[in-house]
Amino acid sequence: MTFISSVQKINHQLFIKRKLNVHIKRDDLIHPIISGNKWRKLKYNIEYAKNEGYEGILSFGGAYSNHIHALAYATKQQCIKSIGIIRGEQHYQKNSTLSQAINWGMNCQFVDRKTYRLRNNAEYLADLQQQYVNYFIVPEGGSNTLALPGVGEVITELNQQLNYDTLILPVGSGGTFSGLINADRGQHELLGIAVLKEADHIQQQMQPLLNKTNTVASPSNRKWQLLKDFHRGGYAKFSKEDEQKIYQFSQETGILFEPVYSGKMVLALLDLIANDYFTAGQTIVLLHTGGLQGLNGLVEQSRLSTPLSL
């Protein structure tokens, strides 16, 4: 099944003042539960697992993982099983993210941080595959080669929806960014906003996913950048000031953002505009990658001082 997300112009006084045309690709609305880049990255992974006759999919995530949440629901809908290797203690199974995942049939297995760090280790993955022979193993965040064509469909859709100069998105594991880079083929400027400090690690994960002409090692002729200075202190970290700015922007635009991914993209855009990065007349597209279910976890952890809702 194919869904095409809409493009919406963002009306904001700052954009008018700077004579910038800013739009947003509403992938957060692509599906009521499997929203944003998670839907796009899982699309062909699940299709492959079913076609190859796997019993289910095994993947990795934290206790509030958007990927785990989406995978649990998507596999339920497609009538295959799922296993989540979860970083953290078993009491997390009661939180909003994992309780729903378990209710949808996911088998959540909790591991300590030392074990979780092995999630990309070949020997550890081989042991898991031997233990779960009939499960297709998908990396953390769903970022593998099967994710790329689903993500690339964003570019196909955008090229039919409007003319634009720059596409901006938040970047976690690098799979979405890689898929967009490959599909765009140097047509537009692509800016990835790293949401965690370990941006070099993101680039290492991207390297095998990129076409040869787009590699991390050859920056001279490419039209994409991974911007590393807008993580606001690290993954899932943000100040009260950051939170307030995101809340205000949501209220002014009527579009909900969260402070872990999409909100950091918004803050980066505002900083780039303040630093005169863009020239008047440019058309900029923000890619809303979803993840709004994560707001429930932030509320449960008492990490929000403002109600990030519309």
Angstrom CA distances, 292 to 122, 128, 141, stand at: 32, 31, 15
Residue 291 within a domain: yes
By three-state DSSP, how is residue 175 classified?
Answer: helix
Residue 308 within a domain: no
Q: Give the residue from 98, 117, 142 where a domain finishes.
A: 142
Both 108 and 251 in one domain: the answer is no
Both 169 and 104 in one domain: the answer is no
CATH number of domain containing 29: 3.40.50.1100
Residue 115 within a domain: yes
DSSP 217: T
Both 48 and 90 in one domain: the answer is yes
Pull the structure tokens for residue 77: 């809908």
Residue 125 within a domain: yes
Both 69 and 159 in one domain: the answer is no
What is the enclosing helix (H) or strand (E) of 171?
A: strand 166-171
Query: Rounded CA gap, 161 and 36, in Å?
Result: 18
Both 175 and 292 in one domain: the answer is yes
pTM for the full predicted model? 0.93
Both 26 and 56 in one domain: the answer is no
Query: Rounded CA gap, 216 and 206, in Å?
Result: 8
Both 284 and 174 in one domain: the answer is yes
Q: Give the residue from 142, 172, 206 where a domain finishes.
A: 142
Q: What is residue 307's predicted lDDT score, i.e. its pLDDT?
A: 62
**Residue corresponding to tokens 């979803």:** 290
Q: What is residue 130's predicted lDDT score, i.e. its pLDDT?
A: 97
Query: Rounded CA gap, 110 and 239, in Å?
Result: 29
Angstrom CA distances, 279 to 18, 166, 272, stand at: 8, 11, 11
Residue 103 within a domain: yes
Could you list the pLDDT tens digit for every one of the 310 residues in the chain? Answer: 567 899 999 999 999 999 999 999 999 999 989 988 999 999 999 999 999 999 999 999 999 999 999 999 999 999 999 999 999 999 999 999 999 999 999 999 999 999 999 999 999 999 999 999 999 999 999 999 999 999 999 999 999 999 999 999 999 999 999 999 999 999 999 999 999 998 888 999 999 999 876 776 666 567 999 999 999 988 888 999 999 999 999 999 999 999 999 999 999 999 999 999 999 999 999 999 998 888 888 888 888 876 666 5
Both 21 and 167 in one domain: the answer is yes
Both 229 and 257 in one domain: the answer is yes
Q: What is residue 304's predicted lDDT score, i.e. its pLDDT?
A: 82
Residue 129 within a domain: yes
Q: How many separate domains does the chain show?
A: 2
Contact in structure between 57 and 82 (CB atoms under 8 Å) = yes
Residue 50 within a domain: yes
Q: Give the residue from 118, 142, 166 where a domain finishes.
A: 142
Both 14 and 87 in one domain: the answer is no
Query: Rounded CA gap, 135 and 46, in Å?
Result: 11
Helices (H) and strands (E) in the chain, counts: 12, 10
CA 309 to chain centre: 20
Pull the structure tokens for residue 300: 């449960």
Both 221 and 187 in one domain: the answer is yes
Domain with 201, as residue range(s), is 7-33+145-300
| C-alpha closest to that of 138 among 24, 40, 241, 56 | 56
Q: What is residue 220's predicted lDDT score, i.e. its pLDDT?
A: 56
Residue 88 within a domain: yes
Both 26 and 175 in one domain: the answer is yes
